[in-house]
Amino acid sequence: MRKKIIAGNWKMNNSPEDSKNLVRDTMRNISFGKEKNLNVIFCPPFTSLSLVSEIIGHHKENGVFTGGQNCHWEERGAFTGEISASMLKSSGADYVILGHSERRQYFNETDEIISKKIKVALKNHLIPVFCCGEKLLERKDHRHFEIVEKQISLGLFPNFSELPEGIFPVIAYEPVWAIGTGETATPNQAQEMHFFIRSLIAKKFGNGKAASVSILYGGSCNPKNSGELFIQPDIDGGLIGGASLKPEEFIGIINSI
Ligand code: PEP
């Protein structure tokens, strides 16, 4: 059975001290063991990653992990300001968010760059959380399926045939118009896209692979709307931005799954 996942993307927020307080406040209120098939992932900024990984420590056995928010596509070298996949791994991360729309928009990441990042992440035994999603105009033009198919075909699928044993990418569908805007896709809109994504995987790699990929929804998720989204058959959890910075909201979302 595929995993349910709630991942918190803290983005460029929180000093190490703030991170410590946030993760402790959140962890204190997670009721472990309630949902055995659930992974909770904290994705703090790089400067807090080791600290947060240490705090969650032995809770990996309870399904609590950390992830990076990005990595470089090369293993090492003269790339001032960049962080490698192996650095994330040695800082305690098990996951890495790749292809987030903010990286695509502000840092010009193309599908080809994202594909290279996925490759290096997998090589270092990090599970990529691959983000895809259309912009508002693309949805208005009814091109959302075409856009998401292109992102997945170019960014993710080239790496699908050589997955390391036991490592399976997670996909996050995040309509760009819903990220940080307070607008959420309706449960029907999200389910329709998640079903489409799963069908793409089934067509190319078979029903077995399609059934085992966790597909998360992201875009202004909060405890009020998360329950309706997570009950959809192809929505396996959420990638949460703003609400992951507030322990009571993040916990509310976790409890709604
Ligand atoms: C995100 O950045 O991945 C995200 C979903 O943000 P928010 O929940 O704030 O819309």
Read off the pLDDT of each residue in 220-227 and give the average, rounded to a whole number: 96
Q: Tokens 């729309």 map to which residue?
A: 101
DSSP 234: T
Q: Active-site positions?
A: 100, 174
The dotted CATH code for 4-256 is: 3.20.20.70
Rounded to two decimals, the pTM is 0.96
Is the Cβ atom of 57 under 6 angstroms away from ligand 1?
A: no
The residue extents of the domains of the chain are 4-256
Is the Cβ atom of 221 under 6 angstroms away from ligand 1?
A: yes
Q: How much is the pLDDT for 245?
A: 98
Is the Cβ atom of 170 under 6 angstroms away from ligand 1?
A: no
Q: How much is the pLDDT for 165?
A: 84
**To test the ligand 1 pocket, which listed residue (97, 240, 246) has its Cβ within 8 A of the most ligand atoms?**
240
Band of residue 33 on the pLDDT scale cut at 50, 70, 90: low
Is the Cβ atom of 176 under 6 angstroms away from ligand 1?
A: no
Find the 242 Cα to ligand 1 centroid distance in Å: 6
Ramachandran sector of residue 142 (left: φ over 0; alpha: ψ -120 to 50; beta: rest): left
Closest listed residue to residue 49, CA positions, set 4, 90, 81: 90
The 10s digit of each residue's pLDDT in 147-204 is 999 999 999 999 988 888 888 899 999 999 999 888 889 999 999 999 999 999 999 9
Read off the pLDDT of each residue in 127-138 and give the average, rounded to a whole number: 97
Q: How much is the pLDDT for 34?
A: 61
CB 155 within 8 A of CB 115: yes
Residue 31 has pLDDT above 80, yes or no: no
Is the Cβ atom of 133 under 6 angstroms away from ligand 1?
A: no
Read off the pLDDT of each residue in 33-47 and give the average, rounded to a whole number: 88
Residue 238 has pLDDT above 70, yes or no: yes
Band of residue 25 on the pLDDT scale cut at 50, 70, 90: very high
Task: Give the percent of the chain with pLDDT over 90.
Answer: 87
**To test the ligand 1 pocket, which listed residue (103, 130, 177, 221) has its Cβ within 8 A of the most ligand atoms?**
221
According to DSSP, the β-strands at 95-98 and 215-218 are unpaired
DSSP 109: -
Provide the mean pLDDT of the chain: 95
Band of residue 35 on the pLDDT scale cut at 50, 70, 90: low
Residue 109 has pLDDT above 80, yes or no: yes
